[in-house]
Chain A
Amino acid sequence: MFLFAAAAAPLLPEWIVSLTTIAFANALVVLGLVVLWRVGLVSFGQALYYCIGAYVVALLARWTGLTDAFALIVIGGVAAGLVAVLIGFLLARYREIFFAMLSLALSMILYGVLVKTESLGSSDGFSVTTPTFLGYAPHREALGLSLYWLTLGVDAIAAVLVGAYFRSVAGALAAPIRDNEIRVEFLGVSVNSIIHAKVVIAGILGGLGGALAAMAIGHVDPNMAYWTTSGSFVFVTILAGAGSVAAAFVGSLVFEAVRSFAVDVMPGLWQMTLGSVLLLTILFLPDGLGSLVSRLKRRGEVQRP
């Protein structure tokens, strides 16, 4: 799927390439939410890591002059991951609405700090220096394509690693923990440390997504940490479903496509359009868009004999 998307890029109009880049950068954040979703946790503050990843990229370029996209992405992901390690000590002890609200509160703290920091442009934010790729410094269309391929590459690596994680002992414990934490503890596993690891994985993915988005948009502002940003990631997660890794990417792409289409066609009503899409998804595909694939598979199996 990624190879196909990568090969098709030069043939596509520029606006599709840029829309897809943003969608696939955000898909990483959604993938992190899927990791948490599987264990029954919803984070309403994933924008925290998204914003950290984005600001780290923007600030490094501004203060140190580091513009290499590969290095910036890695540092953005690691920085968000480190914050997640610290926050995880607190967050891993909470479940359900308390987990959701606490993560929301933490992201709003960052939002508040950024809005008040005049040296970082307060609520206006500031623009991101154009990235380079191992010395190659493209402009305009070539830059867009380079960022698109970079995003696809990061997504492919993340998809493979998260897929392997879902099949690992720690990853496969998601459903058991959701079902019966006591039993998992009595089998000799610390549930909190498993959840802590999931918070960190989701944090790293959030940071990577933010770093890519910062470069693709070319601008960062405190809204990247605002609760509506977190909300849209949760929105896409519900739309996509937690059934598979691919669902996060498909869901994110559908979301961005519907949003730009709706803004284009009926500028005043685009939120209503998105809301209707979500409502229809919940009513008819309670397990998300990802469940379409498994449904089709099952139908095929039933009809065969």
Chain B
Amino acid sequence: MSAILAVRDLEKTFGSLVAAHDITVSVPAEQTVGVIGANGAGKTTFINMITGHLRPTKGGIWFEDQEITGKPSREITRLGISRSFQVAQIFPSLTVFDNVCVAAAIARRSGGMWGSITTPVRSPDATAEAEATIELFQIGRYRDTPANTLPQGVRKLLDIGMAVVGWPRLLLLDEPTSGISIEEKFDLMNVVMSALKTRKITVLFVEHDMEIVARFADRVLAFYDGTVIADGTPTDTLDSPRVQELISGVRLKPAAGSGGHA
């Protein structure tokens, strides 16, 4: 088997609250997986357990056949799992180039603290990597713009670019299109997904817009009440009566030709 990510019987409880339970998923390399579900259904808990931000109460997580359950998030990042954020997490006082270059330099550094002190941040390697990533995400014309003046869509691209510059194999996108106008959403996702395809990155993305999910995901996981209630191709998952009944928003925009199920 060559699943890049395998999750078995994952459970997370906060006191008596069960935030996630019985999650078992296996993701093959280079697949693009959409994650849907209402707020509080456990999507973000699921993502946070993979990135090491939350320690699972039960179950295990394997990345490239290595167990990463409960490892600290910094170590998981170094192993090749990266993430972007619902609200773009960038460095407002730095230019776009410096944002990406710092991220590149961090990803390429070695030798702990001493290495960080003795390696220049604008090493030829990091600079080249940053330029390539800016090119890949098509934000070249903002290269020298301070990040705090960027339009929302460019902020999102920058945030994802910073996650990608270190060549992760698995990327977790938390609502990449939140805060973006409907007209811009598809353009944004086209740029992001083609960039990620170029780098052969396996993607899990949380998304509320079902048209985006149907268009860009190879596979869809539907979360409800802390667990996965449907897992399959976008058409199968989005058309399943259970998903349509339990997750609002799915039925509002049925995919073409799926009227019979509604």
Contact = CB atoms under 8 A, between A and B. Distances in A.
A167 B113 CA distance: 15
Interface in B76-109: 77-78, 83, 89-94, 102-103, 105-107, 109
Interface in A150-186: 164-165, 167-173, 175-176, 178-180, 182-186
A193 interface: yes
Contacts of B121: 167-169, 171-173
A283 to B, nearest CB: 22
A184 B117 CA distance: 16
B73 A197 contact: no
Contacts of A179: 90-94
Contacts of A268: none
Contacts of A194: 113, 116
B242 interface: no
Contacts of B228: none
Given A168-B118, A176-B91, A183-B90, A197 B106 contact: no
A173 B117 CA distance: 10
B91 A170 contact: no
B74 interface: yes
Given A186-B83, A188-B107, A189-B106, A167 B93 contact: no
Q: Label chain A's interface by main secondary structure.
A: helix
B113 A186 contact: no
B197 interface: no
Contacts of A175: 91, 93-94
A188 B117 CA distance: 16
A134 interface: no
Given A186-B83, A194-B116, A169 B91 contact: no
Nearest to A194: B116
Contacts of B77: 186-188
Interface in B155-192: 162, 166
Nearest to B78: A188
B119 interface: yes
Given A188-B74, A189-B74, A190-B74, A173 B102 contact: yes
B122 interface: yes
Interface string B17-31: 000000000000000
B232 interface: no
Nearest to B148: A179
Interface string B60-74: 000000000000011
A92 to B, nearest CB: 12
B120 interface: yes
Nearest to A167: B120
Contact of B106 (A171, A180, A188): A188
Interface of A: 164-165, 167-173, 175-176, 178-180, 182-190, 193-194, 197
21 contacts: A168-B118, A168-B119, A169-B102, A169-B109, A170-B117, A171-B121, A173-B121, A176-B94, A178-B93, A179-B92, A179-B93, A179-B94, A183-B162, A184-B106, A186-B51, A186-B77, A187-B162, A188-B166, A189-B116, A194-B116, A197-B113
